[in-house]
Amino acid sequence: MTPDDDRQPRILICDELNPAALEVFRRRSLEPEVRTGLTEDELVATVPGVDALIVRSATKITRRVLEAATELRVVGRAGIGVDNIDTDAATERGVVVMNTPRGNATTTAELAIALLFSLARHIPRADRLVRAGGWKAKGLMGSEVSGKTLGVIGLGRIGRIVGERARGVGMKVLAYDPYLETEGPGGTISGVELVKLDELLERSDFISLHVPLTDSTRNLISWERLAKVKRGARLINAARGGVVDEEAVLDALTEGRLAGAAFDVFDQEPPPADHPLLQRDDVIVTPHLGASSREAQLRVAVDIAEQIANFIQNGVAENAINAPSMPAEILAEYSPFLRLAEKMGSFLAQRIGGPIRKIELSVAGDVSKVGVEHLRLALLVGMLRHSLDAGVNFVNAPALARERGILVLESTDDKAVHRIGELRVRASERAGGKSHRIEGTVFGREPRVFRIDDVSLDLSPRGPLLLTRHKDQPGVLGELGSILGRHGINIQRVELGPPVGSAGLAAGFLTLYELPGPDVIDAVREMEAMEEVQLIRL
């Protein structure tokens, strides 16, 4: 994947980067162009002939931009999140998307620790008091953190650093991670005790969140969960806005169950000026500073410059979000199967909703000739992204899977119902736990799922998917449609499965145009015939 010898590769930097990135490129005899603040129209006019784009969070790399970028081979994100890049469109065109997952972890973790100390000693309140001419410490009695218990929710890269730092100042550390086994003392970090979430809430003096925002983590800290919190505990959210129900926190502070809270992130950013949490002295707020340190910005700038240079000059894709290292023409041809594998992994992670211990992947038909490795990586990436607080990509996915004790079994089969190829995956909990199966292929260039567990169907793995298990009786689908209709949720496609198992429950798979809120799901659960409801986002 080296450029033609007679053409200097064009690299376009679209957002502000630390100047060290330019030094990296110049050392490699590359001269990037810097054009920041471009609108989508301006970017579309600029990208023809560009080989590499580098962005932070401001610039949006849309499908329209990608279609205009005739020579584009790679998009680099100086940071972790890639929400501003249309990765599906990039993969379809054989464009690699890479990020820098290591750069921000320490900085974000240290901010959480700083907020913990600030809560314990009322530092912002004390500062305001002195600036206003006061000096008495009345009402500012703090507490030592040494000997106290910190509950870390989410043991990804950032959560682990927080746990290590807390142990360094003499704190006892509990941790909850739904994708790790809970086996008491020891766990995956020496000196950290893995516990269930309710136990963590009941025992912790400080609680720090380090989970991604997904359907399963939205409002993870809710009214019900806060009712179980140890009285006088303090809450820290430096993860994502939305994982904490802010109204519930306000109530917990008002009634004294929480002694304080610190927010670096909000569901709406910036929060409105009249947000009630901003009016309280027992709440600390910062403007999404998690990645804002000189060291972090230097690291991500240097990292992305090195990665782009290595890709342009050597064809090596480091920290690739959407593709393993493979020639662009092969990537473009087989990208629908990579997308299918990633969607299947995402489905299984959400369907099981807990620690997955074994994955059985079978690749059949013509696609098996390309090799199983790339498809296995895509499957793991889709599966792990639902459980970690930092970037998962084609480079680190195998190590993260091993770290979490996931056994991957692979097989190939020359014969397939769909000659182009098909993927069959079963994911299982530990022995005796539940397992689920999904099978899919590609029609044209569109991934399709043709079996989930024992139900044959024809499903496009895209958008919100509502799964139901219900009594096999007349009127269920009509009532379900009425509930969705009342809430303005339009159904795109319905697939129904016949009654199976000893309970004789029928299955429903409803692809929706809009993402239903918790109130909609609650209304569906209240149906007399309904036994199970799950929302899966694909």
In the annotation, is 240 catalytic? yes
Res 389: pLDDT: 57
**Nearest-angstrom CA–CA distance, 429 and 405:** 11
Length of the chain: 538
**Nearest-angstrom CA–CA distance, 472 and 253:** 46
Is residue 367 over pLDDT 90? no
Strand ordering across the sheet containing 505-512: 491-500, 505-512, 464-471, 530-537
C-alpha angle with apex 534: 529 to 538, nearest 5 degrees? 140
One DSSP character per residue, 150-216 reads EEEE--SHHHHHHHHHHHHTT-EEEEE-TTS---BSSTTSTTEEE--HHHHHHH-SEEEE-----TT
Which residues are registered as beta bridge partners of 437?
426
pLDDT band per the 50, 70, 90 thresholds, residue 394? confident
Superfamily of domain 1-103+293-322, CATH level 4: NAD(P)-binding Rossmann-like Domain (3.40.50.720)
Res 5: pLDDT: 45
Tell me the HSE value of 218 on the side-chain side, using a 13 A CA sphere: 10
Domain residue extents for the chain: 1-103+293-322, 105-285, 323-461, 463-538
CATH assignment of 463-538, given 3.60.20.10, 3.40.50.150, 3.40.190.10, 3.30.70.260? Answer: 3.30.70.260
Is residue 380 over pLDDT 80? yes
Q: What is the pLDDT of residues 502-517, one digit of tens each?
A: 678 999 999 999 999 8
In the annotation, is 288 catalytic? yes
pLDDT band per the 50, 70, 90 thresholds, residue 187? very low
Superfamily of domain 105-285, CATH level 4: NAD(P)-binding Rossmann-like Domain (3.40.50.720)
238 residue type, one letter: A
Architecture (CATH level 2) of domain 323-461:
2-Layer Sandwich (3.30)
Q: Do 263 and 245 form a contact (C-beta atoms < 8 A)?
A: no
CA distances from 496 to 67, 238, 412, 442 (A): 37, 42, 30, 21
C-alpha angle with apex 84: 521 to 461, nearest 5 degrees? 45
Closest of 170, 158, 245, 256 to residue 208, by C-alpha = 158
Q: Which of 121, 280, 288, 537 is catalytic?
A: 288
Least confident of 25-34, 158-167, 193-202, 495-504: 495-504
Closest of 440, 415, 411, 459 to residue 340, by C-alpha = 440
Same fold, 1-103+293-322 and 105-285: yes
Is residue 493 over pLDDT 70? yes
Q: Do 150 and 166 form a contact (C-beta atoms < 8 A)?
A: yes
pLDDT band per the 50, 70, 90 thresholds, residue 361? very high
In the annotation, is 73 catalytic? no
Q: Which of 56, 240, 385, 448 is catalytic?
A: 240
486 residue type, one letter: R
